[in-house]
Amino acid sequence: MKKVLITGALGQIGSELTSKLRNEYGINNVIATDIRYIENSEVAKDGIFETLDVMDIDSMALIAKKYNVDTIIHLASLLSAVGEQNPQFAWKLNMGGLTNVLEVCKELNCKLFTPSSIAAFGASSPKDLTPQDTIQRPSTMYGVTKVAGELLCDYYFNKYGVDTRGVRFPGLISYVTPPGGGTTDYAVDIYYEALKNKKYDSFIAKGTKMDMMYMPDALAAIVDLIEADGSKLIHRNAFNITAMNFDPEEISAEIKKHIPDFEFGYNVDPVRQAIAESWPNSLDASCAVNEWGFKFEYDLAKMTKDMLEKLKSKGIGINN
């Protein structure tokens, strides 16, 4: 990467990825964009920022040309639970935005990274160690757009030679930005509530295992895949990656090691629970390991310790 443009730069992944890339590649080599401008956002004020609606292909192309961009990281989308509230808009934004990015990349010969998700699988997919290549019949509009996006990126690579790359993220956990409406957000909420109120009721039911990843590992995976030797990539656009696998009881037990009087219960959200039950219990990430050396650093114990320390340093909690 020499000059990279990020869409959705003020979102959960984008805000942290923008800072990471500015530190690694130089502040003037990373162009952050989002549909809105947030005045007190470090991403918006500490480097190049342009307001961009990804549905506006002309503006996207102008910005990419203005800064001589050679790589686009496309993160703008609606997530699973939010997408179910307005599925027509989720399709329009997720697929329309991706199509526009692909066209700009084709015109300007840019490399593209765009993430897929564990939501691309469905109830008929193998539940345990879900293979890289398997049946994908998602039950959410978000998942439908992710499957369609994987296929569309493959099409643009095979038809036009656009260097498209991507991963299927599991649930992502971060201390920097608040949750954005995903089904796995309970695994972020629980840390905040453990520090603030020393109690939490999970909207995901007991025994529901899902794959997760701590944000530093997710950001490293993005950079590693973008910089990987393209000649060694077989799957390119939808690599399974994962770092840990747990249910609500396991994450609460880990938190109790640090906050012994933490109280944990359940208040299950049937919509998000149904989504979670349609997803795999665990993913097989061997293709990512073999094709571009995917690795991770954080397991549940190491992540929990770091999350609680980082949130306390931000002033989250009581009697800190």
SS3 at position 212: strand
For residue 196 the two structure tokens come to 């603030």
**Cα-Cα end-to-end distance for the chain:** 41
CB distance 121 to 183 below 8 Å: no
- 33 forms bridges with which residues in the sheet? 50
Among the listed residues 54, 316, 32, the one whose alpha carbon sits nearest the alpha carbon of residue 188: 316
Extract the tokens encoding 94.
């997720």
246: left (phi over 0), alpha (psi -120 to 50) or beta: beta
Cα separation, 179 vs 15, in Å, equals 12
Establish whether 142 is a catalytic residue: yes
| Catalytic residue of the set 67, 142, 191, 214 | 142
Which positions ≥6 away from 177 have C-beta within 8 Å? 11, 12, 15, 16
Here the tokens at position 215 are 């944000």
Sign of the torsion angle spanned by Cα atoms 168, 173, 178, 180: positive
Amino acid at site 149: G
Tally of residues, the chain: 320
> How is residue 145 written in tokens?
């757009």
User: Looking at the annotation, which residues are catalytic?
Assistant: 142
